[in-house]
Amino acid sequence: MKILLLCVALLLIWDNGMVLGEQEVSDNELQELSTQGSRYINKEIQNAVQGVKHIKTLIEKTNAERKSLLNSLEEAKKKKEDALEDTRDSEMKLKAFPEVCNETMMALWEECKPCLKHTCMKFYARVCRSGSGLVGQQLEEFLNQSSPFYFWMNGDRIDSLLESDRQQSQVLDAMQDSFARASGIIDTLFQDRFFARELHDPHYFSPIGFPHKRPHFLYPKSRLVRSLMSPSHYGPPSFHNMFQPFFEMIHQAQQAMDVQLHSPA
């Protein structure tokens, strides 16, 4: 009982402005400290937001450069496809009319194959010095399966180049989809209310109110409790609640951009 009375007496003394002989900090000083702290927090958050906006500007600039490169790539791709189609058409025409030059061409090809095989095997034996028998057999099978009517470009047959071009187009389309998805996530992020608010918003870390010479745990309806717990349009000022959606969307954008980087070639 004595301890309880002693605690009450100490609380009453603190309520009157004295705690263990020291003067209580005035409300004006507390309010000034709160204001300075709020300004500091607002400044740091503003710097962070400006940094993220700068990243968005760089993404937009990169997107413009990407579109320019894609246009050039599409033009080169179109020219390549036209050249391959023309070459394939010529190849098909030669196959469709073998009587035009079949006898002469095949005769020359049969004469050329032994010489070609001998030259290749001579080079292989000089460089590798082992396994020439197996390589010679494989080379002979390859020459027998080949035809002088096939067109080759840079060591590849036309049909192989067409298949490779088709696969490259699929990879490019997938990368385009990933970049578009990441850009969409960034755009959605900057439409969030967090980036739309200004620092003069009263809910944007406004100074905290302080009680008037009364311990707030004795008066649960004090201004301090109401200031922290009162519902607002954006909810209580919580760093986790404010930045969690931002981090989640950035993670989704990163995953979208990393899809092709980690996919097998």
DSSP string, 5-70: HHHHHHHHHHHTTEETTEEPPPHHHHHHHHHHHHHHHHHHHHHHHHHHHHHHHHHHHHHHHHHHHH
- My answer on whether 104 and 138 are in the same domain is yes
**Across residues 189-216, what is the average pLDDT?**
51
| Residue 225 falls inside a structural domain | no
- My answer on whether 189 and 240 are in the same domain is yes
- My answer on whether 55 and 185 are in the same domain is yes
Query: What confidence category does residue 181 fall into, taking pLDDT thresholds of 50, 70 and 90?
Result: confident
257 conformational bin, left if phi > 0, alpha if psi -120 to 50, beta if neither: alpha
Spatial contact of 198 and 204, defined as CB atoms under 8 Å apart: yes
- My answer on whether 116 and 146 are in the same domain is yes
- My answer on whether 132 and 73 are in the same domain is no
| Residue 25 falls inside a structural domain | no
Asked if pLDDT for residue 137 goes beyond 60, the answer is yes
Asked if pLDDT for residue 74 goes beyond 70, the answer is yes
User: Distances from the Cα of 47 to the Cαs of 10, 52, 177, 207, 231, in angstroms?
Assistant: 45, 9, 32, 19, 27
**83 is written with which tokens?**
């050249």
- My answer on whether 71 and 179 are in the same domain is yes
pLDDT (tens digit, 9 = 90+) per residue, 5-32?
A: 556 566 666 555 544 444 566 888 888 8
- My answer on whether 240 and 137 are in the same domain is no
| Residue 250 falls inside a structural domain | yes
85 conformational bin, left if phi > 0, alpha if psi -120 to 50, beta if neither: alpha
- My answer on whether 130 and 238 are in the same domain is no
| Residue 246 falls inside a structural domain | yes
Asked if pLDDT for residue 68 goes beyond 60, the answer is yes
**Residue 113 domain boundaries:** 99-150
- My answer on whether 74 and 186 are in the same domain is yes
Asked if pLDDT for residue 208 goes beyond 80, the answer is no
- My answer on whether 162 and 258 are in the same domain is yes
Position 48: which residue type? A
pLDDT at 206: 46
- Contacts for 156 with CB less than 8 Å, ≥ 6 apart: 164
| Residue 116 falls inside a structural domain | yes
Cα distance between residue 6 and residue 169, in whole Å: 83
Higher-scoring residue by pLDDT: 154, 79: 79
Where a domain ends, among 131, 150, 169? 150
Query: What confidence category does residue 80 fall into, taking pLDDT thresholds of 50, 70 and 90?
Result: confident
Cα distance between residue 76 and residue 65, in whole Å: 17
**28 is written with which tokens?**
């004006």
- Contacts for 206 with CB less than 8 Å, ≥ 6 apart: 38
Query: What confidence category does residue 71 fall into, taking pLDDT thresholds of 50, 70 and 90?
Result: confident
| Residue 39 falls inside a structural domain | no
Cα distance between residue 16 and residue 159, in whole Å: 94
Q: Which residues of 73-111 are buried (b: 16+ CB within 10 A; e: fewer)?
A: eeeeeeeeeeebeebeeebeebeeeeeeeeeeeeeeeee
pLDDT at 84: 74
Asked if pLDDT for residue 216 goes beyond 60, the answer is no
List the single range of 33-42, 69-78, 217-226 with lowest mean pLDDT: 217-226
pLDDT at 5: 57
pLDDT at 29: 83
Where a domain ends, among 150, 171, 186? 150
- My answer on whether 177 and 60 are in the same domain is yes
With 0.75 as the threshold, say if the pTM is over it.
no
| Residue 187 falls inside a structural domain | yes
pLDDT (tens digit, 9 = 90+) per residue, 82-99?
A: 877 777 777 677 666 655
